[in-house]
Structure 1
């Protein structure tokens, strides 16, 4: 089955939403952001949801959003940074989607998120140390991706170029595989 979705995973502050919106426009696909989907359904911001109901409720809402979005076709989906904590989320999204992991160095993420830190998981302790610790915890989980792109020293245009180059290779590989089977 041809995968028509592009799924952006990775740590917070790596550019998933910003890149995703631009990539969707370039590819003429619909764009969805799992956090925005959760906010629309709950009528609360992510920080409000965390404050009122906690992380477990957020994860539950996130999984429902992923379940809905994973059924769609021909779209770009930007996911929350911790979406990979639930293996089922990855499995659902990978069924119809090519998984692209965006990453960045901890110092770059720190610079990107410190200006407007509205992220509940970063509210405790030293911001930089928390980023490093969370990245370490999730490093193995991000290996589920079909490709990894470090956005630390790239602008959006360069990240999109790398994604498009990967997709071109991916699609020609799919075509080769299909021809081998016939």
Structure 2
């Protein structure tokens, strides 16, 4: 059985929430990659984006992904863009089981509209702009997301569904 599981998907897809539940059910640890970065660099993700730009953020995100890919018995919630930069998707597939939490653009939109989290890529967008942004970004990112070893229907999969996929890998 795999010693490491990466949850990937668009922002708001449930990677952190589901990751914690799966980790608890397996008696493993959970790492939210964004929180790992914030703790390591003592800045929030929005601060890093604002002060250093997305390119710098993506570089440190890749470095941190490599660091956590050495940990065993871990569920890792990757950032929404993590699979799309450098060779991050390949690293995840080589070092563990990658699971894509697939959602429709409308479900992502509904979740993000009610989210209390600050997300630098969508801040200040109207509802219509946000939905269009989600549709475009999902279309770009699915090229990477679909390289996952397991594609989970994020709106309907239960913890038990994830456990079966992990144990069967």
Equivalent pairs, count: 165
Which ranges of structure 1 fall in alignment gaps of 5 or more residues?
Answer: 171-182
Q: Is 1:118 matched up with 2:122?
A: no
SS at match of 1:99: strand
Map 1:124-139 → 2, pairs under 5 A: 125=125, 126-139=129-142
Higher relative contact order, structure no. (Cα contacts within 8 Å, ≥ 6 residues apart): 2
Indicate if the aligned counterparts of 1:149 and 1:159 stay in contact, CA closer than 8 A.
no
Aligned to 1:94: 93
Deviation at 1:111? 1.2
Q: Is 1:64 matched up with 2:63?
A: yes
1:96-153 superposed Cα distances (whole Å, 9 cap, x missing partner): 210111011111111111233521122365111101110011111111111111122x
Deviation at 1:89? 1.2
Q: TM-score, normalised by structure 2?
A: 0.91
Q: Is 1:83 matched up with 2:82?
A: yes
Map 1:25-174 → 2, pairs under 5 A: 25-115=24-114, 116=116, 118-123=118-123, 125=125, 126-152=129-155, 154=156, 158-170=157-169
SS at match of 1:121: coil
Deviates more, 1:101-110 or 1:87-96: 87-96
Structure with more helix by fraction: 1
Q: Which has the larger radius of gyration?
A: 1
**Cα distance change, pair 136–63 in 1 and its aligned pair in 2 (3 A):** same
CA distance in 1 between counterparts of 2:72 and 2:167 reads: 18
Indicate if the aligned counterparts of 1:122 and 1:131 stay in contact, CA closer than 8 A.
no
Deviation at 1:87? 4.6
Deviation at 1:94? 2.2
Deviation at 1:32? 0.6
